Amino acid sequence: MYDLVIKNGLICTASDLYQADIAICNGTIECIAGNIEAHLASEIIDAKGAFVTPGGIDAHVHVDEPLKLLGEVADTMESATRSAVAGGTTTVIAFATQDVSQTGPKALSKSIENTVDEYARQTLYCDYALHLILFQVEKDSLEGRELLGVQLENVYHDYGVTSLKVFMTYPGLQMSDYDILTTMHASRSNGFTTMVHAENGDIIKWMIEDLESKGLLEAYYHGVSRPPAIEGEATNRAIILSSTLQTPILFVHVSSPDAIRTISKAQARGLRVYAETCPQYALLSDEVTKCNHSRALPYVKAEAVDLETHSCGGGDKPYKVENFEGAKYICSPPIRPEGCQQQIWDGINNGTFTIVGSDHCPYYYQDKISKASKHRAYHDGKDGRFRYIPNGLPGVCTRLPLLFTYGYSQGNMKDMMKFVEVNCTNPAKLYGCYPQKGSILPGVSDADLVIWYPPNSTKTEYPSKPTVIRNELLEHACDYTPFEGFEVSNWPRFTIVKGRIVYREGCILSSNATGAYLPRAKSSMCSS
Ligand SMILES: NC(=O)NCCC(=O)O
Ligand SMILES: [Zn+2]
């Protein structure tokens, strides 16, 4: 007997599209065959006419973590995994922050231990893994190189963590080229994937000061302070660092045409350079950051803001804090000007981008007690200027439905196999969890599957699917989505995690939540 059989679906992997039945037993794919007898199944789903894909892997998800590096964001691991499965994602990779109070060979293992312990107390709807965020090298010397190597070795042996992220920007997190080299050196000897947030932090600091001195303070100027070329410069510099050490590198949340060109050229030279982009860079232009924004309005002072009603008056020109709506779209790198979006689709189709992640980083828009919010930019006498707006957008739920609709259905993504490649299979290969995750292979893959609604079905047996994105559909804790009102042509009908249905036709099935921590192997793309 099988626990579950999915009949008549169109199985779509990164390499194939064919009709067959799938039998699931003990949480894994047991067999795939043209016809699996119904009487062999405890439960059957008829997926006639529907795509059956591997569950999505979202390899870039920020959630609340013990050290609160990003402040107290809206989603816990519990609500983030709940939102993930509602959008067809069955594995998320989040971040454990380096705890700089810990030192010595086990310092980084302890940072991860705290995070894993915190999430073990939560109900998880799908599996999760962790990258490490590293922002300080304990000793900047030859001895420091050796120590970091040992720390990473321990992180791998203790927790199966095989990737780390470094920043070339953000005050407090920005690493020097020296420290990035040390990190890449340790990554190389341990077969780790080095993920880089590439923006030139020094230029950004200068630009922010300059814009502020000219009174250019609203959300839109966040993007002006981080032009495409400065992402390109940092990308180029990081490639020089990684090629000096002949070690692979992965650029996360790539948004600028300059960076795309630089990455593509490096790939053409045979360098092992990988890249991630995100739906927001393909679907939004910086016009959204001008939302209700008008330079003619007086610049709002903190004391004049009533955070309850979000309106205020001051001087002879009354001013509404709704002019702050552009803050919902503030992220780094920023949403780019009109015209850049096509280059994101081109990069997905031609292979410059290896994966698509959401960079889910859910700050509330409105204020919440003790939680970080976009309106935090008005706290403590601050005045809402763009430099104080937390950077990040929610997106773990909307990633796949958006890419299905605006990528596959609208012809911006070459086919469904590409959709599976960048959203499911490549993230698994890149981050060392293939073929357990990201594929549908009998005997080796977890039964992490998504059954989509049959396209254009008029059959009455299917309940209606969402056609427009509304925040309340997303099952996350955040109070907005940057994609509110976006039409979608498809949505997951069933999300299955390790053989159990966790999302069925719009409803979360909490009793089937069995998500757990996922230790990973070394990357099959990035380790030598
Ligand atoms: N991307 C962003 O604006 N926030 C999340 C943190 C990061 O990934 O840089
Ligand atoms: Zn980043």
Residues 368, 326 within the same domain: yes
Q: Which of 196, 192, 154, 150 shows the shortest CA–CA distance to 173?
A: 196
- Report the pLDDT value the prediction gives residue 439, as an integer from 0 to 100: 98
CA 275–ligand 2 middle distance (angstroms): 13
Same domain, 216 and 290: yes
Judge contact between 134 and 165, C-beta under 8 A: yes
| Arithmetic mean of pLDDT, 346-366 | 97
Q: Note whether 130 and 192 are same-domain residues.
A: yes
Confidence at residue 451, expressed as pLDDT on a 0 to 100 scale? 98
Which 3 state secondary structure label does DSSP give 408?
A: helix
**pLDDT tens per residue across span 256-286:** 999 999 999 999 999 999 999 999 999 999 9
Pocket probe for ligand 1: among 253, 329, 389, the residue whose CB has the most ligand atoms within 8 Å is 253
Q: Do residues 46 and 85 share a domain?
A: no
Which residues have CB under 6 Å of ligand 1? Answer: 62, 197, 253, 331-332, 359, 361, 391-392
Atom of ligand 1 nearest to the CA of 361: 5
pLDDT digits (tens, 9 = 90+) for 192-222: 999 999 999 999 999 999 999 999 999 999 9
Angstrom distance (rounded) from CA 62 to CA 74: 10
Task: Give residue 126's identity as a one-letter amino acid code.
Answer: C
Q: Whole domain around residue 86: which residue ranges?
A: 56-294+321-430
262 CA distance to ligand 1 middle (Å): 21
User: What is the DSSP code string of 10-24?
Assistant: EEE-SS-EEEEEEEE
CA angle in degrees (0–180, nearest 5) for 131-132-137: 155
Compute, in angstroms, the gap from residue 167 CA to the centroid of ligand 2: 7
Structural domain contains residue 522:
no
If you measure from the C-alpha of residue 392 to the centroid of ligand 1, how many angstroms do you get, rounded to a whole number?
Answer: 5
Cβ partners under 8 Å of residue 11, min gap 6: 17, 18, 19, 20, 22, 32, 52, 440
In a domain, 398, yes or no: yes
Of all atoms in ligand 1, which is nearest to the CA of residue 252? 8
The packing angle between helices 177-190 and 228-244, to 10°, is 50
65/147 same-domain check: yes
- The domain that holds 457 is classified in CATH as 2.30.40.10
* Average pLDDT of the segment spanning 251-257: 98
For residue 528, the model assigns a pLDDT of 60
Q: Which pLDDT score, from 0 to 100, does residue 301 have?
A: 37
Q: Specify which residues 276 forms β-bridges with.
A: 355
Does 28 share its domain with 133? no
Flag whether 517 is in a domain.
no
What's the pLDDT tens digit per position in 70-117?
Answer: 888 999 999 999 999 999 999 999 999 999 999 999 999 999 999 999
Ligand 1 atom showing the smallest separation from residue 197 Cα: 9
Q: pLDDT digit string (tens) for 220-250?
A: 999 999 999 999 999 999 999 999 999 999 9
Instruction: Please give the pLDDT value at position 303.
Output: 39
Q: What is the pLDDT of residues 150-163, one digit of tens each?
A: 999 999 999 999 99
Sequence-distant (≥ 6) Cβ neighbours of residue 418 within 8 angstroms = 348, 349, 407, 408
Residue 526, pLDDT score: 85
**pTM here?**
0.94
Domain closes at, from 399, 430, 461: 430
299 burial type by CB count under 10 A (0-12 exposed, 13-18 middle, 19+ buried): middle
The yes/no answer to whether this complex scores an ipTM above 0.85 is yes
* C-alpha 3 to ligand 1 mean position (Å): 40
Closest ligand 1 atom, residue 391 Cα: 3
Is residue 174 in some structural domain?
yes
CA of 172 from ligand 1 middle (Å) equals 14
Do 47 and 193 lie in a common domain? no
Ligand 2 centre from 468 Cα, in Å?
A: 29
From 388, 405, 430, the end of a domain falls on: 430
Q: Looking at the predicted structure, is the pLDDT value of residue 313 above 60?
A: no
Q: Which pairing describes strands 355-356 and 449-452: parallel, antiparallel, or unpaired?
A: unpaired
193 neighbors 162 (Cβ within 8 angstroms): yes
How many angstroms separate the alpha carbon of residue 32 from the centre of ligand 2? 39
State the DSSP H helix or E strand holding residue 201, giving kind and residue range, or none if neither.
helix 201-213
Query: Is 351 a member of any domain?
Result: yes
48 with 61, same domain: the answer is no
| 3-class state of residue 462 by DSSP | coil
Q: Which of 470, 217, 227 is nearest to 324 (CA)?
A: 217
Same domain? 277 vs 358? yes
- In degrees, rounded to 5, the angle at the alpha carbon of residue 347 between the alpha carbons of residues 343 and 351 is 170
Q: Cα(333) to centroid of ligand 1, in Å?
A: 8
Closest CA to 387 of 521, 209, 515: 209
- Residue nearest (by alpha carbon) to ligand 1 atom 9: 332
- Ligand nearest to the backbone CA of 358: 1
pLDDT of 321 reads 45
Nearest protein CA to atom 4 of ligand 1, as residue? 392
Q: How many domains does the chain have?
A: 2
Question: Whose C-alpha lies nearest to ligand 1, atom 6?
Answer: 392
Residue 108, in any domain of the structure: yes
Q: What spacing in Å lies between the alpha carbon of 332 and ligand 1's midpoint?
A: 6
Instruction: Tell which atom from ligand 1 comes closest to the C-alpha of 70.
Output: 6
Residue minimizing CA distance to atom 8 of ligand 1: 359
Q: What is the pLDDT of residue 458?
A: 73
Spatial separation of the C-alpha atoms in residues 408 and 421, rounded to whole Å = 12
Does 524 reside within a domain?
no
Rounded distance from Cα 197 to ligand 2 centre (Å):
5
**Ligand 1, from 197, 226, 359: best to mutate by most atoms within 8 Å of Cβ?**
359
- Which of 360, 391, 393 for a ligand 1 pocket mutation test, highest count of atoms within 8 Å of Cβ? 391
CATH code of the domain covering residue 104: 3.20.20.140
Q: Do both 481 and 338 map to the same domain?
A: no
Which ligand is closest to the CA of 252, given by its number? 2
Whose Cα sits closest to atom 1 in ligand 1? 332
Please indicate, yes or no, if residue 306 is contained in any of the structural domains: no
Instruction: Report every protein residue that has its C-beta within 5 angstroms of ion ligand 2.
Output: 197
The pLDDT of residue 498? 98
Q: What is the pLDDT of residues 401-449, one digit of tens each?
A: 999 999 999 999 999 999 999 999 999 999 999 999 999 999 999 999 9
502 and 389 inside one domain = no
Nearest CA to ligand 1 atom 5: 392
Shortest-distance ligand to the CA of residue 392: 1
Residues 216 and 248 in one domain: yes
Neighbours of 322 (CB within 10 A): 11
- Average pLDDT on 181-186 reads 97
Domain stop point among 430, 459, 478: 430
